[in-house]
Structure 1
Amino acid sequence: MNYTTQMDAAKKGIITKEMEVVSRKENIDIEILRERVAKGQIVIPANKNHKSLDAEGVGKGLKTKINVNLGISRDCPNVDTELDKVKTALDMKVEAIMDLSSFGKTEEFRKRLINMSTAMIGTVPVYDAVGFYDKELKDITEKEFLDVVRKHGEDGVDFITIHAGMNRETAKVFKKNERITNIVSRGGSLLYAWMELNNKENPFYEYFDELLEICQEYDMTISLGDALRPGSIEDGTDGPQIAELMVLGELTKRAWEKNVQIIIEGPGHIQLNEIEANVLLEKKLCYEAPFYVLGPIVTDIAPGYDHITSAIGGAIAASHGVDFLCYVTPAEHLRLPTLEDMKEGIIASKIAAHAGDIAKGVPGAKEWDLKMSRARQKLDWEGMFKLALDEEKARRYRAESNPEHEDSCTMCGKMCSMRNMNRVMEGKDINILRAED
């Protein structure tokens, strides 16, 4: 039986090879997986032309996935530098990489990235349009925007961020509601500017059916971008954000009718106490489509530490049902991330995702922590290193400060609670001041 997309196959009762891979990775019954893909509750972004892909599932009942943003820019156009980051990100086992390239040899970088990447690849085609056509934003036509999407599909991109929810009506809502930070989405601001300069409808909204046909042809998943996401906690959960979310729900149903998989993108900068409500709204208004958030960043005052502010928000968001976290690095709001910035962002996001998985009872999540606790109780340093999220850093910290006694560390020495409790439980004496026998 033939099928066009993963969703089409799922609706027809077909088990694809990608579904089999995800079922094994997640230890989920394959029929439950297929049913959730058919309903749009789980997506498996897998472009037919991405031959090196090791498929991942995103959505209900699965582990929270993380995405890493990379790409060349006008100020940092070195392709090889960014590819070094790609190699490291893949070594760190990220599930997704988004190419946000906006200048220079974008096609070269994208093709090399897709050829080498086992992780799913995402892009934002509107970023690429200006450089691809070498035209000012105002002069790009509706057809040209769609042609860039088709090019990304041909190249093998698995999911694309499309800011189709900001149409002329939601733009009116934005204009009527004063914001501190206006539109902070790069893609959203470009499309808003194009609409204003040309006095036209958002081309991705107006020609959404044509967009769906392209995505259906290559089995590209659409990540419906939140053009009006808040860029400060003051703007969080406001009228423009919610107005756009309602449109995203309508577009989700239209996409599912064409068997195109959908992810919903969310905020952004959100107060801690508003995260749960934001997840509930997305799941209700967008019919349980997988939810993908940037952070969320829970305070605006920590440039240089936004990997921490976003990890706090990401853990809470994941615990309430968010399926996909976009990493944030210490360089957020400041510069293009370095390799070390990227590593810090990945680890912070992985911690947040795992903490969320424990809270929402993802099978196998808590067992990892149980193994670490048992290794700590036994003072099994080698076991702890192997279980650590960042094994290299754990080993380095231990090696940099050697204790007098191997069954302790330089923090507590012979006052180590684990050491002394083990000795007491075994009926042995505790010799904190005396020399060892």
Structure 2
Amino acid sequence: MTYTTQMDAARKGIVTPQMEIVARKENMRIEVLMERMAKGTVIIPANKKHTNLDPEAVGEGISTKINVNLGISKDCCDIEPELVKVQMALDMKAEAIMDLSCYGKTQEFRKRLIAMSPAMIGTVPIYDAVGFYDKNLQDITVDEFFDVVKKHVEDGVDFLTIHCGLNKHTAEKVKLGGRLTNIVSRGGSLLFTWMEINKAENPFYEHFDRLLDICEEYDVTLSLGDGCRPGCLNDATDACQVEELITLGELTKRAWERNVQVMIEGPGHMAMNEIAGNMMMEKRLCHGAPFYVLGPLVTDVAPGYDHITAAIGGAIAAMNGADFLCYVTPAEHLRLPTLEDMKEGIIATRIAAHAADVAKGHPGARDWDDNMSKARAALDWNGMFDLAMDPVKPREYRESSKPEHEDSCSMCGKMCAVRNMNRVLAGKDIQLDD
């Protein structure tokens, strides 16, 4: 029996190699995995042409995944430094990388990225279209937009972010005003501009079936972008965001009818008290499709520290149903991130994802924390470093401030609670004075 996509295979009862790998990773029965994939609540982005992919799943009952954004631009168009960032993202166990390249040798970079990456790869084709055709945005034709999409999937991209839900009706809501930051999505703003100048409908909404033809042929997951995501706390959960989400839910059902896997992209900036409600709303309006969020950033006043504001929001979001977190670095809103910015962003996002998995009771998540606690109780410093999410930084801290006694740290010395409890429970004397 043949199949077109991972969803099609699940609905036909066919176990694919990708499903077998994911089931082992997630400690999930293959029957449960397939049932959820058939419904659309779990996806395995896996382009047929991405031959070195180490597949991962996203969705219901699956561990929270993280994504790293990178790519070349007009101000930073050198491919080699970005490939160094790719390797760092892979070394730091990011499950996905999004290539947001918008200028220069974008196809060369994309092909090299896919060739070296076992992580799933996503792109936003409309970014590439402007640079690829070297013409004004308004002059790009519908066919040209779709030709760029086709190039991306032929190169092996596993998921495409396309802002299909920002149609003319929702665009009118944006023009009515009331937002402090209007449209902050780069892809959303480009499509809004194209629609306004050409007095035309969003080509990806109007010709959605044409997009599905491409996704079905290559088994590419459609990441339905949130062109109206809030760019500040004031704009969260407003009519523009909600109306677009309703449209994305309608498009999700159309994609599922074609066996095309879907995930939904979400906010953005949002106060903490609104996050849980937004997660529930997305799952209801989009029929349980996996939810992919940027942050959410829980305050607008921390430039330079937005990896922290995003990690707070990401942990709350994932605990309440978000399935996939896009990393945010300290450079967010300010510049292209450096390697150090990337590291800070990846660690912050991994902390958020893991904390949410613990809260949700994901199988095996708490074991990691319990093993760290055992190492701490035994004052097993090397064991603690080996278990650390980032083994390098704690080792550097330890080496930078050597204690008098190896079984303590330089903060407490002989007054270390763990050291003294271990000694007294073992029947040994405790000498606190020098």
**Same fold per superposition (TM over 0.5):** yes
The aligned residue for residue 130 of structure 1 is 130
> Amino acid of the residue matched to residue 54 of structure 1?
D
The CA deviation at 1:176 is 2.2
SS of match in other structure, 1:122: strand
Q: How does 1:21-420 map to 2 (within 5 A)?
A: 21-420=21-420
Matched-pair contact (CA < 8 Å) for 1:177–1:239: no
Q: Deviations over 1:263-318 (max 9, x none)?
A: 00000000000000000000000011000000010000000000000000001111
| Whole-angstrom distance in 2 between the partners of 1:394 and 1:219 | 42
Matched-pair contact (CA < 8 Å) for 1:168–1:201: yes
| Whole-angstrom distance in 2 between the partners of 1:75 and 1:229 | 26
Q: Deviations over 1:143-186 (max 9, x none)?
A: 11111111101000000001000001111122224100000000
| Whole-angstrom distance in 1 between the partners of 2:177 and 2:25 | 45
RMSD after superposition = 0.6
The CA deviation at 1:133 is 1.1
> Amino acid of the residue matched to residue 383 of structure 1?
G
Q: Deviations over 1:84-110 (max 9, x none)?
A: 000111011110000000000100000
Structure 1, unaligned stretches of length 5 or more?
none
Matched-pair contact (CA < 8 Å) for 1:69–1:100: yes
| Whole-angstrom distance in 2 between the partners of 1:425 and 1:169 | 71
| Whole-angstrom distance in 2 between the partners of 1:131 and 1:147 | 14
Equivalences, count: 434
The CA deviation at 1:201 is 0.1
Matched-pair contact (CA < 8 Å) for 1:177–1:240: no
> Amino acid of the residue matched to residue 308 of structure 1?
I
Q: Deviations over 1:185-214 (max 9, x none)?
A: 000000000000000000000000000000
The CA deviation at 1:429 is 1.5
| Whole-angstrom distance in 2 between the partners of 1:194 and 1:321 | 34
SS of match in other structure, 2:325: strand
Q: Deviations over 1:353-395 (max 9, x none)?
A: 0000011111100110000000000000011000000001111
| Whole-angstrom distance in 2 between the partners of 1:233 and 1:284 | 23
SS of match in other structure, 2:265: strand
| Whole-angstrom distance in 1 between the partners of 2:176 and 2:186 | 21
> Amino acid of the residue matched to residue 165 of structure 2?
G
> Amino acid of the residue matched to residue 426 of structure 2?
E
Q: Percent identity?
A: 70
Q: Deviations over 1:56-102 (max 9, x none)?
A: 00000010000000000000101000000001110111100000000
| Whole-angstrom distance in 1 between the partners of 2:274 and 2:45 | 29
Q: Deviations over 1:99-146 (max 9, x none)?
A: 000000100000000000000000000000011111110000111111
Structure 2, unaligned stretches of length 5 or more?
none
Q: Deviations over 1:231-261 (max 9, x none)?
A: 0001111110000000000000000000000
> Amino acid of the residue matched to residue 220 of structure 2?
M
> Amino acid of the residue matched to residue 112 of structure 2?
R
| Whole-angstrom distance in 1 between the partners of 2:432 and 2:286 | 61
Return the TM-score normalized by structure 2.
0.99
| Whole-angstrom distance in 2 between the partners of 1:407 and 1:432 | 14
> Amino acid of the residue matched to residue 255 of structure 1?
A
SS of match in other structure, 2:385: helix
Matched-pair contact (CA < 8 Å) for 1:321–1:360: no
Matched-pair contact (CA < 8 Å) for 1:13–1:34: yes
> Amino acid of the residue matched to residue 276 of structure 1?
A
SS of match in other structure, 2:222: strand
> Amino acid of the residue matched to residue 50 of structure 1?
H
| Whole-angstrom distance in 2 between the partners of 1:417 and 1:263 | 48
Runs of 4 or more, structure 1, over 2 Å off, are none
SS of match in other structure, 2:223: strand
Instruction: Please say if 1:8 is aligned against 2:4.
Output: no
| Whole-angstrom distance in 2 between the partners of 1:174 and 1:196 | 12
SS of match in other structure, 1:298: coil
| Whole-angstrom distance in 1 between the partners of 2:15 and 2:147 | 31
| Whole-angstrom distance in 1 between the partners of 2:89 and 2:361 | 27
The CA deviation at 1:12 is 0.4
SS of match in other structure, 2:241: helix
The CA deviation at 1:52 is 1.0
